[in-house]
Amino acid sequence: MKQRILVIEDETDIAGILEYLLIDEGYEVTVADTGEKGLAALEGGIYHLVVLDLNLPFMDGLTVCNRIKQTNSVPVIILSARDRDSDVISGLEIGAEDYMTKPFNHREFILRVGKILSRMDEMIARKEIIISDLIINLEREDVSLHGQRINLTPIEYSLLSCLASRTGWVISWQVLLKEVWGHNDDWEGGREMVKVTIQRLRKKIEPDPHHPVYILNEWGKGYRLGAVE
């Protein structure tokens, strides 16, 4: 079965390029030119990834992303001409897995798409990881804390499993950026992307996100996953 990708983009030329690139890689593609049409498509079918523009007519892309994440765990890549840090941070805080700015490198785009979809496939093959009362069963894409299931996005699963695979080790944001997102460690927005996703994850698994006991900072070094004593 082909993996299905939904492109929400109102610029005809860019939508055509994205559709061509993705179909050429073997994906099944649906294109929607407004946020409303994109949300309707998600309600009517199963998709493995959404590529989302921010400058959409009638409904802003950030609003669309927020609505998607309220009801759907499908990963989202934001592809936008907006390159301000505030836009990148807003997109990631809402729940987008990745953020690319226009104009974009076609090959890099395809590599990022492939990275996210491969990560989702890899989750199925992984086994259960237990850290104190935190149980990560990525074979079922399932995380529970004190017996209660926690809903995570695919990128949050990947980040948590990366930390869990080396429990107690300090992992730099550069390594996390490369292993989880597949980006070079010299990317300007990389540190912020890791930081925002860590914050999102802490809100879901920490009893008190402001005083974390699972995902810990080692100032100037990186992050580590430590079991509660």
Tens digits of residue pLDDT in 55-79: 999 999 999 998 888 777 788 999 9
Q: Are residues 110 and 173 in the same domain?
A: no
Which residues lie closer than 8 Å to 102 by C-beta, 6 or more apart? 14, 79, 80, 81
pLDDT for residue 171 is more than 80: yes
Reported pTM: 0.64
> Domain with 37 in it: what CATH number?
3.40.50.2300
**Host domain of residue 216:** 126-225
Which residues lie closer than 8 Å to 211 by C-beta, 6 or more apart? none
Q: Are residues 33 and 104 in the same domain?
A: yes
pLDDT of residue 53: 94
pLDDT of residue 229: 42
Go through 37-56 and write b for each residue having 16 or more CB atoms within 10 A of its CB, e for each that does not: bbbebbeeeebbbbbbbbeb
* Apex 82 CA angle, 79 and 85, nearest 5: 105
Burial of 181 (0-12, 13-18, 19+ CB in 10 A): buried
User: Domain count of the chain?
Assistant: 2
Domain end marker among 81, 103, 119: 119
d(CA 3, CA 65): 20
Average pLDDT on 142-165 reads 85
Q: Are residues 100 and 160 in the same domain?
A: no
pLDDT of residue 5: 96
Q: Are residues 9 and 114 in the same domain?
A: yes
